[in-house]
Chains A and B, each alone.
Chain A
Amino acid sequence: MRPMFKTISAAATLLSAIAPGLTPAFAQDTSPTVQPTAAPPQLPAPEVPIPPLSAAQKAFLAKWVKGGSAQGLGAAQLDDQALSDSALIKAALDRAHALHNGRVAPSDFLDIWALRPSAYDPRPGFAKAVADDKVQAWAENQSPPYAGYEGLRLGLQNYRRIASEGGWPKLAAGASESAIRKRLAVEDKSSTGQSLTAALQQAQRRYGLRPTGTLDTATIEALNVPVESRINSIMANMERWRWMPREMPVNRVQVNIAAAVLTVFEGDQPVNSMRAVTGRPGNETPMLVSTIHSIVVNPPWNVPTSIAKKELLPQGRQTLINRGYRFIKTEGGGERLQQAPGPNNSLGRLKFDFDNPFAVYLHDTPARGKFASYDRLASHGCIRLEKPVDLADLMLGNNPDFNGSVQTLIDADKTQRVSLSQKVSVYLLYWTAFAGNDGVMNFRSDPYGWDRLLATKIEKSSQSARSNITAS
Chain B
Amino acid sequence: MSFPHRRLALTLPLAAVIALGACRDREPEQPEFENDTNVIEEQVMPENLTAAPEAAPENVQAEVKHAPPPVIPDEQQILDDAAAVGMTARIPRAEDIVPTEDKPAERKSAVADKTADKDDQALNQIY
Q: Which A residues are within 8 Å of any B CB, using their own CB? A: 5, 7-8, 25-26, 136-137, 140-141, 145-148, 150-151, 197-198, 201, 205, 210-214, 216, 241, 244, 247-252, 254-256, 259, 261-263, 265, 267-268, 270-273, 277, 280, 291, 301, 303, 307, 310-312, 314-315, 319, 346-347, 363, 365-370, 378-380, 382, 384, 422-425, 427, 429, 431, 434-437, 442
**B118: A residues at CB distance < 8 A:** 247
User: Are A145 and B90 in touch, CB under 8 angstroms?
Assistant: yes
Report the separation of the CA atoms of residues A265 and B19 in the bound assembly, to the nearest whole angstrom: 35
* Docked CA distance A310–B22 (Å): 10
Determine the chain B residues whose CB is within 8 A of the CB of A212 once the complex forms.
66-67
- Expressed in whole angstroms, the Cα–Cα distance for A425 and B83 within the complex equals 18
Contact present for B67 and A213 (CB under 8 Å):
yes
- Name which of B69, B70, B85 has the most chain A CB atoms within 10 A of its CB: B85
**Which one, A271, A368, A431, contacts B78 given CB within 8 A?**
A271
**Shortest beta-carbon distance from B97 to chain A in Å:** 9
CA–CA, A442 and B86, complex, Å: 12
Q: Which residue of A lies closest to B11 (CB)?
A: A314
Q: Would B95 and A141 count as touching, CB distance under 8 A?
A: yes
Which residue of the partner chain, among A136, A141, A214, A270, contacts B81 with CB atoms under 8 Å? A270
Q: What DSSP secondary structure best describes chain A's contact surface?
A: mixed
Instruction: Name the contact of B94 in the complex, choosing from A7, A140, A424 (C-beta under 8 A).
Output: A140
User: Chain B residue with minimal CB distance to A145?
Assistant: B90
Known: A214-B64, A272-B78, A273-B78. A347 touches B89 (CB 8 A): no
Give every chain B residue within 8 A of A252 (Cβ-Cβ).
126
B127 is an interface residue with CB less than 8 A from chain A: yes
Q: A263–B84 Cα gap in the complex (Å)?
A: 9
Among B27, B64, B127, the most chain A Cβ lie within 10 Å of the Cβ of B127
CB-based contact B66/A213 at 8 Å: yes
Interface-central residue, A136, A301, A314, A442, by most chain B CB under 10 Å: A314
**CB–CB A263/B82 < 8 A:** yes
Q: Which 3 A-B pairs have the closest CB atoms?
A: A346-B23, A213-B67, A273-B81
B18 within 8 A of A: yes
The reply to whether the CB of B55 lies closer than 8 angstroms to some CB of chain A is no
Of residues 80 to 114 in B, which have CB atoms within 8 Å of A's CB atoms? 80-91, 93-95
- Check if A346 sits within 8 Å of B24, measured CB to CB: yes
Residue of A nearest to B94 (CB): A137
CB distance A263 to B81 under 8 Å?
Answer: yes
Residues of A close to B47: CB separation below 8 A: none
A251 to B125, CA, bound (A): 10
23 contacts between A and B (CB under 8 A): A5-B127, A26-B22, A137-B95, A141-B94, A146-B86, A146-B87, A147-B88, A148-B86, A198-B70, A213-B66, A247-B122, A254-B86, A254-B88, A256-B85, A268-B89, A268-B122, A270-B81, A311-B19, A311-B21, A319-B16, A365-B24, A436-B83, A437-B83
> Is the CB–CB distance between B84 and A347 below 8 Å?
no
Query: Does the CB pair B66–A214 fall under 8 Å?
Result: yes
Contact A8 B127 (CB under 8 A): yes
CB-contact partner of A263 in B67, B78, B126, under 8 A: B78
B29 located at the interface, meaning its Cβ lies under 8 Å from any Cβ of chain A in the complex: yes
Please give, as numbers and ranges, the residues of chain B lying within 8 Å of A255 by CB-CB distance. Answer: 85
Which A residue's beta carbon lies closest to that of B72? Answer: A205
Whole-angstrom distance between the Cβ of A233 and the nearest chain B Cβ: 14
Q: Give, as a whole number of angstroms, the nearest-CB distance from A277 to chain B.
A: 8
B residues in contact with A378, CB < 8 Å: 21, 25-26
